[in-house]
Structure 1
Amino acid sequence: MPNKGHIFIRGIVQGVGFRPFVYARAIAYGISGSVWNNGSEVQIQAWGEKFDDFLEDVKKGTPLSVIDSVEVFSLSGSPPPDFSILKSHDGVRSGLIPPDIATCADCVRDILTSGGRYEGYFATSCVNCGPRYSIITSLPYDRERTAMDTFPPCEACSKEYSDPACRRHHAQTIACTSCGPALSLHSKTGQNISKDNLIRHTAELLDNGHIVAIRGIGGFHIACTGEVSGELKRRLGRTKQPFAIMARKDWILQQTRISPDEESLLQSDISPILVLDKKNPASLESISNLHTLGCMVPYTGLHHLLFTHLKAPFLIMTSANAPGYPMLTTLDEAVEKLSGTVDFYLTHNRDIVNRCDDSVVRKGHIIRLSRGFAPKRTKIFLGDKAILGTGPELNATVTLYTNGFCITSPHVGNVRNPGTYAYLQETIKCLKNLMQPDIQIIAHDLHPQFLSTRYAKELAEDIGATLVPVQHHVAHIVATYPEECIGIAIDGVGYGSDGTIWGGEVFHGAAPEFSRVGHLLPVLMPGGDLATIWPERMLYGILPDEETISLLHSRGWTEQDLTILEKQVSRRFNTAVTSSTGRVLDAASALLGICRKKTYDGEPAMRLESFAHGTTPEVWEIPIVRINNAEVLDTSRLLKTACDLYTKNISDTNATRKIAASIQYNLARGIAGIACNAATNAGITKIALSGGVAYNEMIRNTIQCTVQERGYELVINRDMPLGDGCISFGQCVYAGKKDIL
């Protein structure tokens, strides 16, 4: 048996404490040699009688590592007298660092232990926790290539860094009050405020009703107590949009219905925002007027310290950026953008190299892919060429494929404004810098006017890459299941191959060949985007009859407005055509008087779901017709059924709630039925589901039950968002499959 070897370890082995872990195992087994970072890999030269035992232990890795492969090659030469950690080398970029993760329990204990070296220090971390992606500038992962480079460790930190028995052995983020990042408090105009204990003073400000912007790992949050939530909504101009809250776990357990899996995720390394059902749907209405509440626990040292001084049971903790825009990361930027919104700023002087928002999860499904989850690394073979997926327009991410892995970025936002467009380019630059690929293929959305499409074309021309356009909903399906299947894609908007707006689609095929075998009835959107803001327009676009006109007239529409609306529809002037599931739900919400104006993305459909929550739906006839060899669900007849029932029960809230539930239930039954019919015709068993509408619990569960009752398997990708955050990944998979074929 060999007692020596040159070991190559590939995977996520940077920023996870892998080298000190190897060192500790080497000492335990009497191994001599060395370990070092080589690009994104770890290499080990080892000599010793217990080499095999050492190797088996090393293969297990650290809690945060992900090992793809371990290879052992022959080793010549004489062994050194001991084992050492050598200086990192630049090299192969086959792996990645982990995402930013929550402060571990050991570090929280250090922070809260009286008399300890880390007592009260907000930026305490170790090899098992803390920032990673948000501070790194390049690989290999060493302090000089992170935002910590400007904070030389003091003698005490250097001693722990060099101590193999310490969990901060080779922790690149090690710091303390003597040498590390420091906090500062500022007035609403940005002037520095000098206080003895800034965190305690900030807690007092919050308890006294002030609104404070707090700079965290990946950017600024706006914080206030629940009593001030109405004032914050007024200042932000978001009077109806729900807020996320941060609270201790016990309080969250008292207020919400949470499963064991959700409770575990809540306090995990990821610590995302969990969208949970309230125990009392009518509670905390000033914070969320839905039956759900977005909750997270303190996940940084700063948060834990803040809550030790806070009297309030919870804080509103919402991203400081406008919806769809990138996180604010600097004090100057925050003071400029948040003028008139916040009263104070609590910040720190460590650079945020790569901004990163909070991840959001509902019922085990990722809504926003960010801190804790991303950058997300997915093993998949798509050929030998590096591929870039530039994503969609809304809720975008970007994905880079290289060396057998797709790397999907944290949430970028809505790429329809200059700030987020610049952030898209910034994110692509970051991934390219970390992975150093030779990009030969660039996949983009089919829509020719998206800024992400424009950038794909500019970059392709600049570097000589091949462009691959990918239809939006096809990307949804490919991101969910890359092999042959029936695919259901239900969302708000996506540019169709026929030039209309799709959003309720059933496909058959496998990347890169799909056929559209079913969809929702194409209906009219009077005024185009205006119909998304004023969903009563959408209602008339689907039901352009006298009954709808009468309803709108009773709600205050003027004769002039109604005349213009009628002419738009009859003449097809400024009126788009769409098969969108989201627009049908918007129209239903408007019909029932639940939401007549959208004030935030997805509001009409979300409020429709919440209004119907807990109500048993009725079974309606499913109206399916055939158009151009595709089965089509006639949503106008579904809405007509709803309208007739509503007219008879307009003052009965319980009856209206049942109608709201029935619309969602029967819409889902119809879509699932079309998919099952297509699966029968194709002779396949797997049906994939994706799209933002699938976050709707009744719709998703109804589709799943219908599919399973018909004997088919429903596939949902729980590692990627159901919404548009999965599109860039799907684009890469599609382009790779197309190139291989």
Structure 2
Amino acid sequence: MQIKGKISIKGIVQGVGFRPFVYKTAQDLGMHGTVRNLGSEVRVHAEGTNFEEFVRRLSSGTPLSRIDSVTVTDSDEPVPAEFVILESAAGTLSGFIPADVATCDECIKDIFTRGGRYEGYWATSCVNCGPRYSIICALPYDRERTRMDAFPMCGACEGEYTDPASRRHHAQTIACADCGPKLSLLHPDGTTVPGEPLHTAASLLDNGAVVAIRGLGGFHIACTAEAAGRLKGALGRPEQPLAVMATADEIRRVARISPAEWELLNGPAHPIVVLPKKNPQALNDISKLHTIGCMLPYTALHHLLFAHLTNPMLVMTSANAPGYPMITDTREACERLGGHVDYILTHNRVIQNRCDDSVVRDGKIIRLSRGLAPKRERCDLGDACILGTGPELNANISIYQGGFCVTSPHVGNVRNPPTLAYLKETVERTAHLLGAGFDVIAHDLHPQFLSTRYAQELAEETGATLVPVQHHKAHIAAANPGPCIGIAIDGVGYGEDGTVWGGEVFAGAVPDFTRVGHLEPVMMPGGDLATRYPERMLYGILPEEETADLLASRGWDATTLGVLQKQVERQFNITISSSTGRVLDAAAALLGVCRERTFDGEPAQVLETTAIPGTASLWEREFIQEQGRTILSTSALLREAFSRMKTEQTADIAASFQQTLATGIAEIAVMAAEERQYKKIALSGGVAYNQAIESAIRKTVVASGHEYILNTDYPLGDGCISYGQCVWAGTTLKQGK
């Protein structure tokens, strides 16, 4: 029986209360020795008759930790007569700091305990909750390497910090009203509003004010439901659905919630969960869709704010333009939000790493961010250190080294200098935390993307090897890198033939995928202009007299319509696309439910909402064989929808269109799987968030007897691309290709 030795525990063991856990376990078992943080490793030197039981318990970890390995080696070194927590030291950086954690129930109880030390304190936290990623500057994770270093602990906090019996024992974020960060309420010009900040802000919100609120990873803009229209007008987003933060009872009142969704809402991440409304027409000022994004209060500040509000619900949207980085600095908030908000509720703790709210729907991650990221995935991609710079839209970055891939929180749309700068900042800070030096940089195949240019510049600086990865192949690589048929359905991605892809079926395994099927290549008149005005997309797919007559009846003047017709006829300024998203846009335009896109994905989302009350029927599918590929005719599908507009309800046509489109592309995949004897069919792409489309594909695949794969660990949209790029590049190198 072993009674003494050194124990090395590797994994996510920083910022998860691991040293206090080791200390308490040692006390319970009568062990003596030491514990020390070493980067992403905790090293224990212990002695006692319960040594083997001690190792067993340590191997289970804490609720927030993730253990990669536990190694025990013999040691004759003397140990102290007691058990001691030693100062941290530099060491391995194979692990990573965990994501920010919602305030735990015990801390919520503390802030509402009359006469308690934490009564009414907005930044209350303990070893089990509070900010992590948003405040860390370097590893090992100790207070002096976080933004809490600016707030020296008072005597009472120091006492709890050093008390093994306290749940704030070695809680690096410990603070109270006497020594911790402070709140302030400001006018947009930066001057202070008189009164207690939280009480005053709550009163102002109840009376219709719009208030910017600085949280864990950036600013939100908040208002009551009654003020939502005013807020949308000020932001220039009249149609975009907004998320809400509400009490548990209010969320139950307005939305349908499954047990799994309720568990997610209340879990450590506390993400926004997109839920179906009980009444699809309710809360239309907030969301005109049949769904609404809901989250519970997740910080002590939120809980205190709601305790003072009479309204049980607040609109809570990120204080930045769509696709741009979150605002984190108070001065910047005053400068940029002055025309949009009435007041600014802020604090003086620096946000080191910005982090937007995560979004989940039907168990599928839409935005990988606060609470869920940084995300760390065990995988074997070889010995090289790989950076995946991601796509253009909904971007993030991933870094692989030493058997693990770490994916950053959501960055945004890399179409502008601020978001490009944020992408670079995210790469630099994540690499610093991981101690990463890049051997390989994987990037999107599109030569004009800003992220592609950045990858090229970084490769020149570092000498790293560049690996371009086609957008949709990265989607499938993230979902299932092994042998399979892969279905990628999304908006747009640069294809290997120079056209725009987006409705693709591949066969093979990473890094050898063959394009075996796709949606019909159609015209996008004016390129990106067709994404903003989906009626252009409709005419590009159906350039017929009947379509022109429909547009004319909707107010298109003869000159504009004539230009569009000549543009299509002469193939001038035309982009060719097989995008699923663009076909759904055209269907929304045909049915007249969305004639102009004002936010990303609007036509397809409005089409989905339109279809909810409808009854779906499966129409005939028309397939074309060309160059060994099977092509689903989307022009025939739209023509069929057009022919039914005089006799059928719009909702029924919308529902049938979605069902037939989904079934058709699934049938291509099933035919390919049977022809090539593949057992697995994987689905990825942003269109898969559409419940009706995803369900139709799943049913078709399962009915055929094949295994259906849907990646729920990463976003189905472009938030999985950087990870897929790493998988593609690493597998390519391992196979010597």
TM range, smaller chain: over 0.9
Opposite residue 641 of structure 1, the aligned amino acid is E
Q: Which secondary structure state, in structure 1, belongs to the residue aligned with residue 481 of structure 2?
A: coil
2:387 counterpart residue number: 388
Residue 231 (structure 2) aligns with = 232
Offset of residue 226 of structure 1 = 0.5
Structure 1 residue 615: Cα displacement: 1.9
Instruction: Tell me, in whole angstroms, the C-alpha distance in 1 between the residues paired with 2:307 and 2:249.
Output: 14
CA distance in 1, matches of 2:688, 2:80: 59
- Which residue does the alignment assign to 2:160? 160
Look up the match of 1:177.
177
Q: 2:686 aligns with which of 692, 695, 711?
A: 692
Aligned residues: 735
CA distance in 2, matches of 1:275, 1:130: 24
**2:352 alignment partner AA:** V
Q: Distance in 1 between matches of 2:144 and 2:517?
A: 55
Deviation at 1:78, TM superposition (A): 2.4
Cα deviation digits, residues 85-116 of structure 1 (max 9, x gap): 00001111111111001000000000111111
TM alignment of 1:609-648, pairs within 5 A? 609-646=608-645, 648=646
- The one-letter amino acid of 1:573's match is F
Q: Percent identity?
A: 61
Q: Please list, as runs of the form range in 1=range in 2, the aligned pairs for 1:136-535 lying within 5 A after superposition.
A: 136-195=136-195, 197-535=196-534
Q: Deviations over 1:13-43 (max 9, x none)?
A: 0000000100011111111110000111100
**Alignment partner, residue 15 of structure 2:** 15
Partner of 2:557: 558
Partner SS state of residue 71, structure 2: strand
Residue 83 (structure 1) aligns with: 83
Query: Helix, strand or coil for the counterpart of 1:59?
Result: helix
- Matched to 2:670, the amino acid is C
Secondary structure of the 2:98 match is coil
2: CA distance, partners of 1:268 / 1:346: 26
Which position in structure 1 is the counterpart of 2:651? 657
Amino acid at match of 2:134: S
Paired letter, 1:74: D
Kept in 1, the 8 Å contact 2:151–2:179? The answer is yes
Cα deviation 1:60-83 (Å, max 9, x = unaligned): 111100001000011112232111
Deviation of the 1:287 alpha carbon? 0.8
- How many angstroms apart in 1 are the aligned matches of 2:445 and 2:161? 51
| Deviation, structure 1 residue 53 | 1.1
Partner of 2:541: 542
Q: Partner residue of 2:591?
A: 592
Displacement of 1:628 after TM fit? 1.1
CA–CA separation in structure 1 for the residues paired with 2:158 and 2:312: 38
Q: What whole-Å deviation, never above 9, does each CA across 1:453-506 have from its counterpart, x for those lacking one?
A: 001000011000000000000000000001010000000000000000000000
How far the C-alpha of 1:198 sits from its partner, in A, is: 1.3
TM-superposition CA deviations, 1:402-440 (whole Å, max 9, x none): 110000000000000001000000000111110011210
AA aligned opposite 2:676: A
State the one-letter code of the partner of 1:368: R
Separation (CA, whole Å) in 1 of partners of 2:676 and 2:102: 47
Deviations 1:497-520 (A, max 9, x none): 000000000000111111000000
Aligned to 2:108: 108
- What is the aligned-residue RMSD (CA, Å)? 0.7
Q: Distance in 1 between matches of 2:513 and 2:234?
A: 48
Distance 2:496 2:208 in 1: 53
Q: Distance in 2 between matches of 1:437 and 1:313?
A: 46
Distance 2:402 2:151 in 1: 34
Aligned pairs for 1:661-680 (under 5 A) are 661-680=655-674
What secondary structure does 1:353 align onto? coil
Distance 2:363 2:657 in 1: 25
SS class of match (1:509): strand
Question: 2:697 — aligned with what?
Answer: 703
Gaps of 5+ in 1: none
The DSSP-based 3-state class of the residue aligned with 1:35 is: strand
Q: Distance in 2 between matches of 1:117 and 1:344?
A: 29
Instruction: Measure how far apart 1:614 and its partner are.
Output: 3.2
- Residue by residue over 1:514-547, the C-alpha shift from the partner in whole angstroms, topping out at 9 and shown as x without a partner, is 1000000000000111000000000000000000
**The residue matched to 2:92 in structure 1 has which SS?**
coil
Aligned to 2:387, the other structure's residue is in SS state strand
Amino acid at match of 1:161: Y
What is the aligned partner in structure 2 of residue 119 from structure 1?
119
2:734 pairs, out of 717, 732, 740, with: 740
TM-score of the pair, normalised by structure 1: 0.99
Q: Distance in 2 between matches of 1:81 and 1:703?
A: 64
CA distance in 2, matches of 1:12, 1:358: 22
* 1:193 Cα deviation after fit: 2.0
Q: Which residue of 1 aligns with 2:572?
A: 573
Amino acid at match of 1:408: T
Deviations 1:269-289 (A, max 9, x none): 111001000011111111110
Partner amino acid for 1:726?
Answer: C
Structure 1 residue 618 displacement after superposition: 1.3
> What is the letter of the counterpart of residue 490 of structure 1?
I
Instruction: Work out the CA distance in 1 between the residues paired with 2:241 and 2:495.
Output: 32
| Amino acid of the structure 2 residue aligned with 1:149 | D
- The amino acid of 1:505's aligned partner reads E
C-alpha distance in 1 between matches for 2:79 and 2:682: 55
Deviations 1:671-716 (A, max 9, x none): 0000000000110110000000000000000000010011111101
CA–CA separation in structure 2 for the residues paired with 1:205 and 1:645: 52
Give the Cα separation in 2 of the matches to 1:704 and 1:580: 20
Compute the displacement of 1:2 (Å).
1.4
Q: What is the CA-CA distance between 1:335 and the residue it aligns to?
A: 1.2
SS of residue matched to 2:307: helix
Which amino acid in structure 2 is aligned with residue 2 of structure 1? Answer: Q
Residue by residue over 1:573-619, the C-alpha shift from the partner in whole angstroms, topping out at 9 and shown as x without a partner, is 11100000000000000000000000000000000000111322111
Once residues 111 and 183 of structure 1 are traced to their aligned partners in structure 2, the CA distance between those partners, rounded to angstroms, is 15
| Residue in structure 1 matched with residue 133 of structure 2 by the alignment | 133
CA distance in 1, matches of 2:79, 2:15: 28
Q: Does the residue aligned with 1:90 lie in a helix, a strand or coil?
A: strand
Separation in 2, partners of 1:60, 1:366: 27
* Aligned AA (2:101): I
The answer on whether the counterparts of 2:615 and 2:651 sit within 8 Å (CA) in structure 1 is: no
Contact kept, 8 Å, 2:506 with 2:515, in 1: the verdict is: yes
In structure 2, what residue type is equivalent to 1:476?
H
Residue 97 (structure 1) aligned with residue 97 (structure 2): yes
Contact 2:34–2:79 (Cα < 8 Å) also in 1: no
Match of 2:52 in 1: 52
TM-score (norm. length: structure 2): 0.99
Contact 2:39 2:91 in 1 (8 A): yes
- The runs of at least 4 consecutive aligned structure 1 residues that moved more than 2 Å come to none
**Secondary structure of the corresponding residue to residue 683 of structure 2:** strand
Letter in 2 for 1:168: R
Q: Which aligned pairs between 1:56-75 and structure 2 lie closer than 5 A?
A: 56-75=56-75
